[in-house]
Amino acid sequence: MNLRSGRSVIIASVFRSVKRPGIESVRVPARAVIMRPVRAAGMRNLRMVVSYVGTRFAGWQVQPGRATVQGILEERISRMLQEPVRIAGAGRTDAGVHARGQVANVFVSSRIPVPGLLRGLNARLPPDIALMHAEEAPESFHARAGARAKEYLYRISRAEVVSPFDAPFVVPVHGRLDVEAMREAARRFLGTHDFTSFCPADSEIEDKVRTLSVSEVTEDGAEVRYRVIGNGFLRHMVRTLAGTLILAGRGRLDTGSIPHILKARDRRQAGPVAPARGLVLERVLYEGGS
């Protein structure tokens, strides 16, 4: 079905129901969505902050026949407002990764006041996705293009028994961890580097240079937490950084080798990709604040 609005053409997606054990049915795209953001005269650009538990999702980005956060948001907003929409997200979190402060924007023609839209959409969303905030933004605002930095948190538990209330969000590591070694390794990631060694070997992105302004390891009881802020991240980059830090904590990697791993630009030199469930997109930073 083609819908025309101004100069933009939207090809609406087709949805099918997917049932997960113990979870409500969700409707996900049965085929690829081919859509461009509508920016006809009079349309509003809404900036949203979205939180979600990523456990059952195949990531943020729409994927044919799979439940994704973007896909569910687009389907629910479209049904509520009776108009097709396309959402832009600040970051494409991987399958199983969570978000506390994902930022997204969407153009809508509906005149529903923002507070009413916020209440109505949250009433229609599954319990593992919540719209935490919404506001009207300038037409020029784009969640991904305008982002200046992102903050991620990776949680590791050394507890002998991990509480079921924490288990979906931490990665258990048994045995001793040298936290000071992990701190030293994390500090060596600071600054501007080519992070080819910390992303998949088949990555098609040519420019793999990124700048990390924060890279620190802290302790909170039985938990070891890795916090990182950067101007951008490659696919699996944060999880590979975390996997490398865990190797350092276990004494299997000399912290002094980090500069050599970076210079090697060889994926085989860095540690493994740590499990997705320990990672949370905490916030997205923009010019003038988050």
DSSP assignment of 102-163, as one string? Answer: EEEEEEE-----HHHHHHHHHHHS-TTEEEEEEEEE-TT--TTTTEEEEEEEEEEE--SS--
Residue with tokens 């350092």: 248
CA 263, CA 265: separation in Å to the nearest integer?
A: 6
Residue 239 contacts residue 281 (beta carbons within 8 Å): no
Residue with tokens 């050599």: 260
β-pairing, 223-230 vs 87-89, is unpaired
Work out the angle at residue 272's Cα, subtended by the Cα atoms of residues 271 and 273, and round it to the nearest 5 degrees: 125
Residue 195 contacts residue 234 (beta carbons within 8 Å): yes
In this structure, what are the phi and psi dihedrals at residue 200, rounded to the nearest 5 degrees?
-55, 145
Residues annotated as part of the active site: 94
- Coil vs helix vs strand at 34: strand
Could you tell me how far CA 143 lies from the centroid of its own chain?
12
CA 110, CA 132: separation in Å to the nearest integer?
A: 20
CA 48, CA 76: separation in Å to the nearest integer?
A: 14
